[in-house]
């Protein structure tokens, strides 16, 4: 049995994980592993942390940790389930199916696993078998049935089918928060950003304390902004980036789009829209400040970028009426 110290470290790691502080969770788990290398829960949570950054470099680490947890605790159905999800994410269907069937064997009351088995059959083209699994989750016809079917299609990347079934679920239950959220993800995947935002706003209205709805909303605004930039609509792109930043100031703009705000400011200056130019530049300054802190950019590069923005800001301020210039100066002083 694990010592009290190890159990406390695991609990701290779980709290850090649930708060999305994955680096700190890893620190606690590494310490727990040093104290006792034979506790299955340590490996399970190490695997969970690894799955937050799934790529070819870390995927074997996640699988290895879940496997070690299973070796130490052969009936650890949660570890089978999470390892199966990793296999499925990387289209290793046979291995995923084996793990999910093991979950169903150990804990047949855990109905979520049948949704994943149904997803595998959909990807194989076995729709009838998929429906058999789905019927183990819920009876056909009610909103829960359509919701689960929509979730399966979403996971299988069949986005139109996901939208269709989630819409049926929402027709029957307009308070189904996760239905709006999952349909938003499907809309986003097919580039229907307007509908995605509407669904995220609906979800946020129903559950305003859920931060992920707002974070995803900001990300969708960013995707719309990048699309507008690629189409050459600089001002529209800048406006959309600002909408996203208003929701999440810390969201990072990809370096290739970072100067969109300054380009929009230059366009506004040419048209005599000085107040709008200042707005673009204030957000551009914030973006640069975030990059300098988060990415620890070289001091010289940070100063050069800030100077470029400051030069444009002075030009914009000169175009303001005297009263507005005075107010701007006062705001700047108190902001500091």
pLDDT in tens, 164-194: 999 999 999 999 999 999 999 999 999 999 9
**How far apart are alpha carbons 226 and 74 in whole angstroms?**
48
pLDDT given at position 325: 54
Q: What is the mean pLDDT of the chain?
A: 88
Q: What is the mean pLDDT of residues 21-38?
A: 92
Question: Which residues touch 244 (CB under 8 Å, ≥6 apart)?
Answer: 217, 218, 219, 220, 221, 222, 225, 251
pLDDT given at position 14: 93
Final residue of a domain: which of 110, 145, 169?
Answer: 110
Q: Is residue 313 part of a domain?
A: yes
Quote the pTM value. Answer: 0.61
Highest mean pLDDT among 104-118, 146-160, 169-183: 169-183
Cα 165 from chain centroid? 23
Residue 336 in this model has a pLDDT that exceeds 60: no
**How far apart are alpha carbons 316 and 324 in whole angstroms?**
11
Residue 335 in this model has a pLDDT that exceeds 60: no
Q: If pLDDT is split at 50, 70 and 90, which confidence band does 128 have?
A: confident
Final residue of a domain: which of 110, 141, 161?
Answer: 110
Residue 155 in this model has a pLDDT that exceeds 90: no
For 140, phi and psi rounded to 5 degrees?
A: -70, 155
C-alpha dihedral, 135 to 139 to 142 to 147, nearest 10°: -30
pLDDT tens-digit readout, 42-52:
999 999 999 88
Q: Is residue 142 part of a domain?
A: no
Q: Is residue 127 part of a domain?
A: no
Q: If pLDDT is split at 50, 70 and 90, which confidence band does 295 have?
A: confident
Q: Is residue 204 part of a domain?
A: no
Q: Is residue 289 part of a domain?
A: yes
Could you please report the per-residue DSSP string of 263-299?
HHHHHHHHTT-HHHHHHHHHHHHHHHHHHHHHS---H
pLDDT given at position 140: 56
CB 266 within 8 A of CB 240: no
Q: Is residue 62 part of a domain?
A: yes
Q: Is residue 231 part of a domain?
A: no
pLDDT given at position 204: 94
Q: If pLDDT is split at 50, 70 and 90, which confidence band does 238 have?
A: very high
Domains contained in the chain, number: 2
**3-state DSSP assignment of residue 60:** helix
pLDDT given at position 30: 93
Final residue of a domain: which of 89, 110, 131?
Answer: 110
Q: Is residue 206 part of a domain?
A: no
pLDDT given at position 217: 95
Expressed as residue numbers, the domain containing 7 is 1-110
Residue 326 in this model has a pLDDT that exceeds 60: no
H-assigned helices in the chain: 4-18, 22-35, 40-50, 59-72, 77-89, 93-106, 112-124, 127-137, 143-155, 159-172, 177-189, 193-206, 211-230, 234-247, 260-270, 274-294, 299-318, 322-335
**3-state DSSP assignment of residue 233:** coil
Q: Compute the Cα dihedral for 207, 209, 210, 213 and give only its sign.
A: positive
Residue 139 in this model has a pLDDT that exceeds 70: no
């Amino acid at each position: 049995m694990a010592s009290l110290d190890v159990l406390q470290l695991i609990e701290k790691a779980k709290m850090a994980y649930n708060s999305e502080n994955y680096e700190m969770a890893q620190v606690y788990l590494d310490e727990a592993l040093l104290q006792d290398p034979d506790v299955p829960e340590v490996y399970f949570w190490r695997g969970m942390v690894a799955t937050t950054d799934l790529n070819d470099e870390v995927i074997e680490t996640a699988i290895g940790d879940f496997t070690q947890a299973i070796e130490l605790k052969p009936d650890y159905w949660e570890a089978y389930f999470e390892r199966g999800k990793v296999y499925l994410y990387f289209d290793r269907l046979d291995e995923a199916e084996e793990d999910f069937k093991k979950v169903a064997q150990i804990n047949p009351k855990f109905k979520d696993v049948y949704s994943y088995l149904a997803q595998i059959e959909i990807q194989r083209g076995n729709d009838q078998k998929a429906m058999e699994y789905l019927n183990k989750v819920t009876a056909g016809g009610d909103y829960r049935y359509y919701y689960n079917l929509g979730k399966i299609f979403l996971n299988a990347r069949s986005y139109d089918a996901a939208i269709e079934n989630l819409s049926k679920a929402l027709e029957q239950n307009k308070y189904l928060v996760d239905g709006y959220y999952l349909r938003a993800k499907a809309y986003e995947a097919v580039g229907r950003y307007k509908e995605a935002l509407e669904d995220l706003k609906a979800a946020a209205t129903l559950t305003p304390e859920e931060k992920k709805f707002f974070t995803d909303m900001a990300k969708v605004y960013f995707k719309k902004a990048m699309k507008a930039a690629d189409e050459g609509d600089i001002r529209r792109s800048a406006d959309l980036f600002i909408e996203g930043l208003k929701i999440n100031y810390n969201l990072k703009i990809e370096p290739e789009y970072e100067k969109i705000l300054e380009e929009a400011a230059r366009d506004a200056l040419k048209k005599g829209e000085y107040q709008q130019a200042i707005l673009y530049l204030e957000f551009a300054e914030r973006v640069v400040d975030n990059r300098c802190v988060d990415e620890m950019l070289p001091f010289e590069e940070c100063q050069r970028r800030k100077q470029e923005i400051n030069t444009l800001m002075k030009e914009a301020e000169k175009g303001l009426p005297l009263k507005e210039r005075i107010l701007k100066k006062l705001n700047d002083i108190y902001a500091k």
